[in-house]
Amino acid sequence: MTDTSPYETAWLTLPDLVEILDEPLGRVRRLLDENYLVGSRRHGALRVPEVFLVDGRPLASLRGTIIVLHDAGYDEDETIDWLLTPEESIGVAPIEALRAGRKSEVRRVAASLA
């Protein structure tokens, strides 16, 4: 399933995450509850963008960035949209910058959104 954001990514359901992460459903739900991942129900079942995973684990720099965005008042859908939409001040989609190791830059821009 694709989203309408410019950054194209596959979307994973909870059963997909259980399989990919090799974790029980309860642990996958905790990863969502504790902001290691963020998902959306806008397409029905809760789904998480596949690009939020690296080597079968949640992207390490994602959690702090999700927390910064939530502190800025963003809900789950807005958080996902911001991460997947090219950001002029960064030059790429924030998730792309995070995957490239540019955590400080992404969080600085995210913090300015409050």
Angle at the Cα of 13 (from 17 to 87), degrees rounded to 5?
90
CA 35 to chain centre: 9
Question: What tens digit of pLDDT does each residue of 31-42 get?
Answer: 999 999 999 998
CB-side neighbour CA atoms (13 Å) of 94: 27
Q: What is the pLDDT of residue 6?
A: 56
Percent of the chain residues past pLDDT 90, beyond the cut: 89
Q: Hunting for tokens 């992460």 — which residue is that?
A: 21
Q: What is the pLDDT of residue 19?
A: 97
Q: What angle do the packed helices 14-21 and 25-33 form, to 10 degrees?
A: 100
Whether 2 maps to a domain, the answer reads no
Q: What is the pLDDT of residue 114?
A: 78
Count of domains for the chain: 1
Q: In degrees rounded to 5, what are phi and psi of residue 81?
A: -60, -45
Whether 32 maps to a domain, the answer reads yes
Whether 19 maps to a domain, the answer reads yes
Range of the domain at 103: 11-111
Question: What tens digit of pLDDT does each residue of 56-112 get?
Answer: 999 999 999 999 999 999 999 999 999 999 999 999 999 999 999 999 999 999 999
Its pTM surpasses 0.85 = yes
Whether 4 maps to a domain, the answer reads no
Distance between CA atoms of residues 11 and 8, nearest Å: 10
In 3-state terms, what secondary structure has residue 53? strand
Whether 103 maps to a domain, the answer reads yes
Residue 41, judged by CB atoms within 10 A of its CB (0-12, 13-18, 19+), counts as exposed
